[in-house]
Amino acid sequence: MNAIKARIAALPKGTVALTVGLGLVGATTYLFLLITGQVLGDDGYAPLGAMWTLVYLTAPGFFFPIEQEVSRALAARRAQGLGGAPVVRRAALFSAGLVVILATLALVAGSHLESQLFNDSALLYGGFILSLGTFGAMHVARGALAGSGELGWYGALMTTEGVGRLIGTGVLAALGVAVAGPYGIVVGAAPLLAALVVAPKLRKLLQPGPEVPWRELSGSLRDLIGAAIFSQALVNLAPLVVKYAASPAEQALSGAFTKAVIITRIPLFLFQAVQAAMLPRLSHMATEGEYDAFRRLLMGVLGVVAVIGIVAALASFAFAPLLLEIFGSDYGLPRTDLALLAIGNGLFLLAMGSAQALIALEAQRSTVWAWMFGLLAFVLFCLIPMPIVLRVELALIAGGTISFCLMLWAVQRRLSEVEVKHLHVHAEDELPQMLGDL
């Protein structure tokens, strides 16, 4: 018990309060999934599950890096007493450009997406297009709030998204809507409501400061976007692979597997709270040269994530039939499937925690390589001839393991490099004073 308390105490300030808010987000998200799972059944849920997965592959893959870079840059500016409005302004323009590019690509691939993943639902396709713009705006706002230390408002933004989505879903269910399309529109619209709620706070919060060069912002974002695309592909491809490989007679398997994936993602909601507080804190420590505290914080966070992952795997195995039944699935997936998915998600979160440390140390490129090799391991495992569900579960575990090990090794190497550089600079600064004293 004392060890667990020590791990919690090592978390960044504000994490626990934010976790409570994000707990509400998790609750509303799972209520959304529960309601839609019950209303649509395994067959009807399959295209909505594919749309949900594609949204959370694409939006975080391209826009979460913007949140990370805004958070890191604002935290570094706060440590130097500089205003961060120019950072947010440039990031918003960058995000808008990405939205245009992604929406254009989605329109070009429209017929394939609509027929293969969305079961010819134009509304699901429209909800996906809508989500590109709304998630882009929300991630910029999240980065500004996290980097400014406003974790309470960060939680409020997330809660508003979850509650708005749940209310819209409840209205549709009460009206007897039993097709997936309208629920997809709700998924795409909810982040816009959240961004509008915190917009007045952001206008008051951000202060003028030195302009940020486009080269500096785009260089960091290039690496972060590459890393995010690889990482989101690693964690989200499994249900898409099963959906794509499933025959028309296996749509129930695809829907049930997607529900199993979502059930085992509960730790991801908890980690959002840790991540929102962790990156600015680590960035501040790196800027100030507090490397021992940096290591303690990182090890504390990874310890908490490991405990959460173990508990999630055991709970998934123990309560798998009940959880699937609650989410409206009668397919009867084995409990081992949920346990393996939970293990894979836990390894992915350990890699994510290590990635935050590399970003804080301005070693974003190392995260690209680590996620890329993890994704490569995932793809190679998917080629092994065995049942498709077991194949993708083992692929997720292999990919998460490779990424985490490479990430942790890169953190240790980068810390050694910056410590030597910091000592060298410190010695050069002190040398003139020492000579003067002599």
Which pLDDT does position 4 carry in this prediction?
A: 47
Taking a C-beta distance cutoff of 8 angstroms, is the pair 337, 325 a contact? no
Half-sphere exposure of 377 (CA within 13 A, CB side): 24
Q: Residue 49 burial by CB count (10 A; 0-12/13-18/19+): exposed, middle or buried?
A: buried
Q: What are phi and psi of 17, to 5 degrees?
A: -65, -40
DSSP assignment of 145-174: HHHTT-HHHHHHHHHHHHHHHHHHHHHHHH
Which conformational region is residue 70 in: left (phi greater than 0), alpha (psi within -120 to 50 degrees), or beta?
alpha
How many degrees, rounded to 5, is the angle at CA 171 between CA 170 and CA 175? 115
Sign of CA dihedral 373, 378, 379, 384: positive
pLDDT by position in tens, the chain (length 438):
555 455 545 455 555 556 666 677 777 877 887 888 778 776 777 778 778 877 877 887 788 888 878 887 787 777 777 776 778 788 888 888 888 988 888 787 766 666 666 766 778 888 888 988 899 888 888 888 887 777 778 878 888 888 888 999 889 988 888 887 888 888 888 888 888 888 888 777 777 666 666 665 655 667 777 887 888 888 878 887 887 776 666 667 777 787 788 778 777 766 766 666 677 778 778 877 788 888 888 888 888 888 888 888 898 888 877 777 776 666 677 888 888 989 998 999 999 889 888 888 888 788 999 999 999 999 999 888 888 888 889 999 999 999 999 999 999 888 888 777 755 554 445 545 544 554
Sketch the domain layout of the chain as residue ranges. Answer: 2-437
Which pLDDT does position 226 carry in this prediction?
A: 81
DSSP assignment of 348-394: HHHHHHHHHHHHHTT-HHHHHHHHHHHHHHHHHHHTSSS-HHHHHHH
**Nearest Cα residue to 60 out of 227, 212, 196:** 227
Taking a C-beta distance cutoff of 8 angstroms, is the pair 255, 46 a contact? yes
DSSP assignment of 257-293: HHHHHHHTTHHHHHHHHHHHHHHHHHHHHHHHT-HHH
Taking a C-beta distance cutoff of 8 angstroms, is the pair 60, 127 a contact? no
Which pLDDT does position 405 carry in this prediction?
A: 94
State CA 243 to chain mean position distance: 22
